[in-house]
Structure 1
Amino acid sequence: MMQRCLEQTSKLEALGTLASGIAHDFNTLLGVILGYAEMTEDLVSNDPVARENLQQILIATGRARDLVARILAFGRRDEKNAAPLRIADSLYECLAMLRPSLPPKVTLHAYIERLDLQVIGDANELQQIFMDLTVNAVHAMAEHGDIYYSIEAVTLNDDTRTDWPELATGDYVRFRIRDTGCGVPPHLVNRIFEPFFTTKDVGEGTGLGLSVVYGIVKRMKGAIRLNNSGQGADFEILCPRYEETEP
């Protein structure tokens, strides 16, 4: 179990390094395209067709840059915006943003053991975790079903740590999101965090959502796994618990 987990972690880190290198080069090329398109706009001010074509180039380039940013998020190692965060607050804020856009037959359920549980991370990235996992669940349920969220404090000791070989013993916050969808086929479980891997049809997604989640969790010194029972996907995340010290 431990050896397999370490091999998977090493593989994903190597993929992250490769993807980041390609993304940096791609971003440079996009900058050139964007710059020339913006300069050309001023030269065709009297040609509405040409201006419209350039606008489409600018829009497509902007979307490509967003995609590059997601690739870089998978491989990034910096923690420059890390700070103590109340994980329950981040979850509630994210769900408040998501609810209006969710299909009417998707119901959200949240169980929060303690509202004061904190982790160290970037606020935007923490919400990215919640958002990407929720979108993934909605797609898996074909827009009809239940999504369950839970946040609780756990402690890893020498016995319980066997399920999390990449983590040290200590105090953690556990976040889980479970859906009532179709689950993940067993032969695909070890690939779901790979960049660009997706079970969606062409045009329905980039395959970056779960890999971005994986990268963020690793930056938070945590770990993520899929508990796949065949009755929906159950993602479990452990991140080190932050405790404020008394002055």
Structure 2
Amino acid sequence: MSAQSRARVLFLLAGLIVIVSGLALTLSLQMLGSPQTGNAPPPIMSWLPLIVASLVILGIGWWLLGSCHQPEEDSAQRLRALLEAAPDACIVCRQDRTILMANDQAARLFGYESSLLRNQSIEKLVPNWLRGTDASGPNPSPTSTPSGSWRLGLDGNLVGRRRDGSEIPIEISVSPLEHAGQRYVVSFIRNISERKKLEDRVRHSQKLEAVGRLAGGVAHDFNNILTAIIGYSDLLMGSVPQGDPVRDGLLEIKKAGDRAAALTQQLLAFSRKQMLQPTVIDLNALIQETQKMLRRLIPEDIEMQLQLDPQTRPVRADAAQTQQVLLNLVLNARDAMPQGGKLTIQTANTDLSSSYARKHTEVRAGPYAVLSVSDTGCGMDEATQARVFEPFFTTKVQGKGTGLGLATVYGIVKQSGGHIEISSAPGQGSVFRVYLPIAEEAVPTVSLTSGLTRTPPGTETILVAEDEDALRGLVRRVLEEHGYAVLAGKDGEEALRLCRQHPGAVHLLLSDVIMPNMNGPRLAQEVKSLHPDVRVIFMSGYTDSTLVSRGVSQGEAYFLQKPFRTDTLIQLVREVLDRAPTR
């Protein structure tokens, strides 16, 4: 029995008691005023008890009803206070799915005033395409009201509809409530837009990481093949005289190999499997050195401006790869302005806060130098921005691009420990911002010059370890033609066995990084234990070995990127052998 029903019962009982008492009193007065006594009371006195009784009844009823309703009003006020104190949006619904109460957070979330939400159907806050029909009936369950409007259970992720018609991702939790004999459902609603954006960024990063692993593996296999194609082309061209038609065919083969090698290098850059040679570089100086070449690539109807902050701090990155990043971004901006426009290159210092790092999980908070390339071109919508760093994705017509330019930028920046972001909208141009970590100390690097300079022959013994038969045969032939003695093994174990069987000194180890049975870094350790003065060159289509990276950066080993030309191989071998051995 509700408090209001109990009050009514008490009201009736009290009234009956007083009325009976009043009747008894009236009869007593009439008897006292009978003719036998000679004292007849006035007529009004005979009804006075009933009047008094009625007033008493009204007073008691007023008191009882007041004492009954006061707790209900206090309870309702406490409920409103609790709802307003809640950090999330909160809505209380009746069984018919109309809104009884909504706090200010709910009003702000959905773009209404609290008073406008009261007595409205919860369907008002649900997109049409998500409205369900499974919550009808006189007694809907908590799993269908009000979240049944979204056709969801007790907890889950939904989409809400704001007053202006826009949709927002929300998280809702509902629970039943019984108050004053009535059943309600309380819904706690949270805007999860920022969480969704973060989840999307993480998924996109994981997607690019998976594609990068695939691209890196493909590039590694192709680089082995291309090294053999380019190398044997060089050898054959050296034996064919000028003017011979065969030489022209060999030249075309070599050109095709070089183009394929350039593509695999871009795939390696995207997959972050390149061997970078980081050093301390001045972004402003690098841009100024490159601007002459950039201006030759830009048509006259595009104005290029440099806005370089002289206080920009030096960064730790690979100079050649950073130059490639700048080149690709400028070419992308050029292609976005076929009718001309303005291209701006800027540098600046910035500090990425911890809150920014929380929104971009792959970013570390701290000081960065920023390289920005902006254009006034066609711009991009959000769908295009989401895919712009994917390899082979392009919005250009067929034949106008490979779709690897921005993918290369992404890979180089990420491998350098940096971050890249886009600001763009259709018809409003684009801004690419590259964040590179500030340099803390100089890192030694090996400067390799490539060219056709004549390298003197050698007489040293070189141990070669390569699991690709064609490539191993090419390397052996080239080295032997230049006077070196060569021990060649198909993997690390065979190479180590040949090293142990060789009676003389081994001056240089030329090894692939990834091989069956024993990899390159492990082989290098074993060979050094036998020949402490041996020099080491690792050759690979890509490397993800931290041992190799550490050895190269510390000068303990050198690295030759596949595919390579035969003259580059010979030049590096001679250069390394002429250096003092490291212990």
TM-score computed with the length of structure 2 as normaliser = 0.39
Aligned to 1:233: 430
2:330 to 115, 122, 134: 134
5+ residue gaps, structure 1? none
C-alpha distance in structure 2 between counterparts of 1:158 and 1:192, whole Å? 26
Structure 2 matches for 1:97-176, cutoff 5 A?
A: 97-142=293-338, 144-161=340-357, 164-176=360-372
C-alpha distance in structure 2 between counterparts of 1:244 and 1:39, whole Å? 43
C-alpha distance in structure 2 between counterparts of 1:111 and 1:126, whole Å? 18
Quick check: 1:190 aligned with 2:370?
no
Question: Which amino acid is 2:252 matched to?
Answer: Q
Which has the higher Rg, Structure 1 or Structure 2?
Answer: 2
Structure 2 matches for 1:63-74, cutoff 5 A?
A: 63-74=259-270
Question: Which amino acid is 1:90 matched to?
Answer: L
Question: Which amino acid is 2:350 matched to?
Answer: V
Cα distance, 1:116–1:154 mapped onto 2, change above 3 Å: closer
C-alpha distance in structure 1 between counterparts of 2:422 and 2:272, whole Å? 22
Question: Which amino acid is 1:15 matched to?
Answer: V
Kept in 1, the 8 Å contact 2:303–2:342? The answer is: yes
Question: Which amino acid is 2:277 matched to?
Answer: N
User: Secondary structure at 1:109's aligned position in 2?
Assistant: strand
Deviates more, 1:68-77 or 1:121-130: 68-77
Aligned to 1:3: 199
C-alpha distance in structure 2 between counterparts of 1:116 and 1:175, whole Å? 10
Kept in 2, the 8 Å contact 1:153–1:172? The answer is: yes
| TM-fit CA distance, 1:207 | 0.9
1:180 to 376, 380, 391: 376
Following superposition, which runs of at least 4 residues in structure 1 exceed 6 angstroms of deviation?
A: none
Quick check: 1:60 aligned with 2:256?
yes
5+ residue gaps, structure 2? 1-196, 443-583
| TM-fit CA distance, 1:108 | 0.9
Cα distance, 1:79–1:155 mapped onto 2, change above 3 Å: farther
Aligned to 1:48: 244
C-alpha distance in structure 2 between counterparts of 1:87 and 1:173, whole Å? 8
| TM-fit CA distance, 1:28 | 1.9
Aligned residues: 245
1:34 to 226, 230, 248: 230
Aligned to 1:89: 285
Aligned to 1:215: 411
Higher relative contact order (CA 8 A, sep 6+): 1
C-alpha distance in structure 2 between counterparts of 1:238 and 1:173, whole Å? 6
Kept in 2, the 8 Å contact 1:75–1:215? The answer is: yes
User: Secondary structure at 2:258's aligned position in 1?
Assistant: helix
Cα distance, 1:21–1:106 mapped onto 2, change above 3 Å: same
1:53-91 CA distance string (max 9 Å, x none): 222111111111121112112213466411121111112
Cα distance, 1:15–1:45 mapped onto 2, change above 3 Å: same
Deviates more, 1:159-168 or 1:62-71: 159-168
